[in-house]
Structure 1
Amino acid sequence: QCVRRFVGSSSPHIVFVSSSSVFSQDNGEIVDELSAAMPSSPTATVIRQAERILEQSNLAHTVVRFSGIYGAERLRMVRQVLAREPVLSGSERLSNRIHEDDAVGFLVFLIQKVLARQDVEALYIASDSAPVDLNEVYRFIARQLGIDATFIEAGAEPVRRTGNKRLSNKRMLNTGYGLQYPDYRQGYAEMCARISG
């Protein structure tokens, strides 16, 4: 599924928006495009089935597996901090994120390469360059909002929604795409400033 695809002169090239949730790795592993995709949730299973249909077709295609998209009105974590929810955990929960501007930006970048008849891969992981413990993200948001983060140290440990892994974005960066938001700090700082202002 990771064979390099060359854009033909007449055949269509499908760019399929997928999700990194198809990876169920849970022990802090580094995950790249060659890692096994073995989904563990019903939604991820359906996504992987859709990928397979495309892989088994004769159509030129590129699958882009996005990590957790945030930005603009995607304010779930910010709202949790504002509500003083007990979101911190006693264990590491690696999170992989990408700002929505980079999600759109990378898709546009790929489509432009396709239209220019440039070669692209059949699979990309699209994520920023800083897998991070969710605790660090929550504490950063709290600092940006001027909220004491110690209030969320106690409480029941939240359920982890996705696997504990480090997504590699090396193949994405090798295309020449430059991230506008290389890590979570720039994006969440902007979001918190907008809310505070």
Structure 2
Amino acid sequence: MRLMIFGAGFSGLAIARALVGNCSFAGGTTRSHERFAKLEAAGLKPFVYQGGVPEGDLAAALGDVTHLVMSIAPDSDGDPLLDALSAERLKQIMPQLEWAGYLSTVGVYGDHDGGWVDENTVCKPVSKRSVARVAAEKGWIDLAERAGVPAAIIRLSGIYGPGRNALKTLDAGKARRLIKPGQVFNRIHVSDIGGATALLARERLGGIFNVTDDMPAPPQDVVEHAARLMGVEPPPETDFETADLSPMARSFYGENKRVSNIRIKAAGYSFAYPDYKAGLGAMWQQGTWKG
């Protein structure tokens, strides 16, 4: 396997750590040289990519790539790599490509009043960022189909892990216990993003997969559990309707659903951290929660 990860950030680096042992070459992109050391520590050869058709050393490396992971979120101008490619150009740049994975979000489902959704649920995105994700998903599926390459659309729920979790937020005095009756969210430990993506890549599986935990839960429950682990008092309850929140933070609460992960399990993946209690508990016990 020869791997390239476009956008080797929090999730991309976890994927790298899960896959580099299977790779004869593994590369990753970032927007500047400042993050090269982090990519190298995860076993990736770093490249700068800021959009458009890949050039120079990056283009040369892509000539032998067999597995592509796209982990760059679309912006107001669209998907930076997708918009630069056609099926013909994809074949020219990556003639050896055997599989592509696109990291998306469960936000594409929109609001379902707390009901269950799965990969067959019709997408009805609410936010502009989720609308852009749906467009990018469709674009990558179409591009891969025309290029004759299996593509996995990997829909992620709220990501947490070492350095990004309720324990660290609580320790920093920034945790909030917002109460909105009936509201639930799914979550996913970053290590399981790596593990699930690695499985799909190794097996060259295409299709849509929800990569999310087993326990959709109210957000205040996560804060309370973190406080119990740390042996501290949780922050006071705050009513969502009167809370001082940024427009983006408030928009997350406009979508309420429970997301099924049956399909990725059927593909053979077993979650290391099937719920937030397992994930937070392991980080607290191992002392990795600070990152």
Match of 1:81 in 2: 170
Match of 1:71 in 2: 161
Deviations 1:19-54 (A, max 9, x none): 111111240110100111121112111111111112
How many Å separate the matches in 2 of 1:102 and 1:129? 12
| Aligned partner of residue 56 in structure 1, secondary structure | helix
Match of 1:5 in 2: none
Match of 1:3 in 2: none
Match of 1:51 in 2: 137
8 Å Cα contact 1:68/1:98 also seen in 2: yes
How many Å separate the matches in 2 of 1:18 and 1:126? 10
Match of 1:148 in 2: 233
TM-score, normalising length: structure 1: 0.81
Match of 1:16 in 2: 102
Match of 2:214 in 1: 129
Q: Return the letter of the residue paired with 2:277.
A: R
Higher relative contact order, chain-length normalized (CA < 8 Å, sep 6+) = 1
| Aligned partner of residue 133 in structure 2, secondary structure | helix
Match of 2:67 in 1: none
Match of 2:49 in 1: none
Q: 1:189 aligns with which of 281, 285, 288?
A: 281
Number of equivalent positions: 180
> Structure 1 stretches of 5 or more lacking a match?
1-9, 115-119
Match of 2:183 in 1: 93
Match of 1:174 in 2: 266
> Structure 2 stretches of 5 or more lacking a match?
1-95
Match of 1:7 in 2: none
| Deviant stretches of 4+, over 6 Å | none
Q: Return the letter of the residue paired with 2:153.
A: V
8 Å Cα contact 1:28/1:165 also seen in 2: yes
Q: State percent identity of aligned pairs.
A: 26
Match of 1:34 in 2: 120
How many Å separate the matches in 2 of 1:187 and 1:20? 20
How many Å separate the matches in 2 of 1:164 and 1:154? 19
Deviation at 1:103, TM superposition (A): 0.4
RMSD: 2.2
How many Å separate the matches in 1 of 2:251 and 2:259? 17
